[in-house]
């Protein structure tokens, strides 16, 4: 795994967090306990902070970045992700905020300043435009994303199931040493 410091910021991993050896994590990044970062993922906190909660899974080939502070955006946008979030394969998260118990479908993009409240499912291939807020308790799909319908009880029950499943899987990968350099 490539855990790299950048300008005196050293990524911090919570207890039992797993970062695959092919992933890159650099700069001002904190990853919560029992969270997992899977192959070929890049988490780049080089010009702002990235915070990832507990039991959150970031799937293969995802890219997580921030928006720097500058003349067009004086404060920039950090990337903030809550607990029990499942981020699908090849997802792009850029300077946005995700609450707790969220499923981000494969290939989705969530852009600067967007806010995803708790208990939301974002369908595969969706685009969440800059500054958009996704209200808690709904399925969103499309490009740009639109609210499709309220979540079912079964879908709400999936959030803790998915988080727990990835905790078990990352424990198996930790036991096999896949977080260590070859």
Q: Which residues contact 152 (CB under 8 A, 6 or more apart)?
A: none
Q: Over 70: is that where the pLDDT of 47 sits?
A: yes
Q: What are phi and psi of 161, to 5 degrees?
A: -60, -50
pLDDT of residue 1: 54
Q: Which residues contact 1 (CB under 8 A, 6 or more apart)?
A: 19, 20, 21, 22, 23, 25, 179, 180, 181
pLDDT, tens only, 105-154: 999 999 999 999 999 999 999 999 999 999 999 999 999 999 999 999 99
pLDDT of residue 179: 78
Question: Beta strand pairing status for 127-128 and 86-87?
Answer: unpaired
Mean pLDDT of 40-66: 97
Reduced to 3 DSSP states, what percent helix, strand and coil does the chain have, rounded to the nearest 5? Answer: 15, 40, 45
Average predicted confidence (pLDDT) for the chain:
96
Give the length of the chain: 182
Q: How many domains does the chain have?
A: 1
pLDDT of residue 118: 98
Residue 181 belongs to a domain: no
Range of the domain at 130: 2-176
CATH code, 104: 2.160.10.10
CB atoms within 10 A of CB 146: 12
């Amino acid at each position: 795994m490539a855990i790299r410091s950048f300008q005196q910021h050293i990524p911090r991993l919570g207890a039992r967090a797993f970062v695959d050896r092919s992933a890159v994590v650099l700069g001002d990044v904190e990853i919560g306990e029992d969270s997992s970062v899977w192959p070929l993922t890049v988490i780049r906190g080089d010009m702002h902070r990235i915070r990832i909660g507990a039991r959150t899974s970031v799937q293969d080939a995802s890219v997580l970045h921030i928006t720097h502070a500058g003349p067009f955006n004086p404060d920039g946008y950090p990337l903030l992700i809550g607990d029990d979030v499942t981020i699908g394969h090849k997802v792009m998260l850029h300077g946005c905020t995700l609450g707790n118990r969220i499923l981000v479908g494969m290939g989705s993009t969530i852009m600067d300043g967007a806010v995803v409240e708790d208990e939301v499912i974002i369908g595969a291939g969706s685009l969440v435009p800059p500054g958009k807020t996704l209200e808690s308790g709904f399925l969103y799909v499309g490009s740009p994303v639109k609210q499709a319908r309220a979540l079912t009880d079964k879908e709400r029950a999936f959030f803790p199931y998915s988080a727990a499943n990835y905790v078990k899987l990352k424990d198996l990968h930790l036991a096999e040493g896949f977080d260590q350099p070859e």
